[in-house]
Amino acid sequence: MTDKRYIVVEGPIGVGKTSLVELIGENFGSRAVLERVTENPFLPRFYQNPKRFAFQAQMFFLLSRYQQQRELSQQDLFNQSIVCDYLFAKDRIFASVNLDDDELALYQQIYELMDQRIPRPDLVIYLQAPTEVLRQRIKFRGRGYEREISREYIEAINEAYNRFFFSYNATPLLIINTAEVDFVRNPEDFQDLVREIQRMKKGVQFYIPLGSA
């Protein structure tokens, strides 16, 4: 059990968010909520032609994430604890990389209207990894449309995440470098993380997994 009703796991593409969300959900008896990435019809086209399809892909994600988060605030958070594999603000991280200035200005107006109605997590867990590690993990999971992702794009997203969380203070934040740890294959590391989650109160904490110590 945990006193944190709503936990979010965040990090760049390929860092391992979904696997950790499922483990946390199982451990705490929480409902695991996963982002509906594969439902975005513009995503494969975006990776093939980013300039042409960036705005369509971004707006689809924004609306989809907003709808899913509103469903959480209206129903589940009153009935059971939740662990989710994305923070609503991640949409703005990707928009800052993918959209040109005019598109971003329009996007920002819409985002700010939606953000006011989104529930705030009790804890955000930010997973970090070097770009080369992310590339290896993306390749390993073998999603066809992700073969089009360039190293430069992964690097840009990774840097954007680091900039965002450098000044993040909206909720308690637990930062984990996952470069040399696998919570799925190392139960001791995961149980140590569970204890860290239970101890976490306010501010920012940096967690070093046992396997990396």
Q: Where in the sequence numbering do the catalytic residues fall?
A: 85
How would you classify the pairing of strands 123-128 and 173-177? parallel
The answer to whether residues 207 and 193 touch, using CB atoms and an 8 Å cutoff, is yes
185 CA to centre of own chain: 21
Q: How far apart are CA 152 and CA 160, in angstroms?
A: 12
Q: Which of 115, 112, 123, 114 is nearest to 84 (CA)?
A: 123
Q: How far apart are CA 162 and CA 185, in angstroms?
A: 26
